[in-house]
Amino acid sequence: MSFYDEVGGAETFERLVHEFYVGVKSDPPLRALYPEEDLEPAERRLRMFLEQYFGGPKTYGEERGHPRLRMRHAPFPVTLDMRDRWMRHMLAAMETLDLPEAHAEVMRDYFARAALMMVNTPD
């Protein structure tokens, strides 16, 4: 069983990413970084990416190719403050999943490491 299945599969990732974007929408400085008026496509890309990363369907790669996430974030000025905001909304979204602690820890560790890697601009 993949980690993706262990944490609840498609339903879990849909909920996580949806709750995350509810947080983004409530946070004007972070929201301003997102280029599109409609966050739906961004929500879908993040969901597909996370599903793939955690061992689920590989739709992200089929549609978008190699993730190269740091490069894809280069157009957006990601400061430590923005990273903190992003993390706060992701951790809040994770709380709504009520995962067993061992699983939650794996995901939190990944998000903390990956989000720090996206920082590309001094505060």
Question: Where on the chain is the footprint of ligand HEM (CB under 6 A)?
Answer: 30, 33-34, 36, 42, 45-46, 49, 64, 69, 72-73, 76, 78, 82-83, 86, 111, 114-115, 118
In the complex, the smallest distance separating the C-beta of residue 101 from ligand HEM, rounded to whole angstroms, is 20
Choose between 16 and 82: whose C-beta lies nearer to ligand HEM: 82
User: Are 29 and 82 contacting, i.e. CB atoms less than 8 angstroms apart?
Assistant: yes
Cβ of 37: how many Cβ atoms within 10 Å? 6
Q: Cα-atom radius of gyration of the chain, to the nearest Å?
A: 14
Query: Phi/psi zone of residue 79: left (φ > 0), alpha (ψ -120 to 50 degrees), beta?
Result: beta
In the complex, the smallest distance separating the C-beta of residue 19 from ligand HEM, rounded to whole angstroms, is 15
Cβ of 2: how many Cβ atoms within 10 Å? 10
Choose between 22 and 114: whose C-beta lies nearer to ligand HEM: 114
Torsion of CA 49, 92, 74, 38, to 10 degrees: 70
Nearest to 97 by CA among 73, 105, 110: 105
Choose between 5 and 77: whose C-beta lies nearer to ligand HEM: 77
In the complex, the smallest distance separating the C-beta of residue 113 from ligand HEM, rounded to whole angstroms, is 8
Choose between 15 and 45: whose C-beta lies nearer to ligand HEM: 45
In the complex, the smallest distance separating the C-beta of residue 9 from ligand HEM, rounded to whole angstroms, is 18
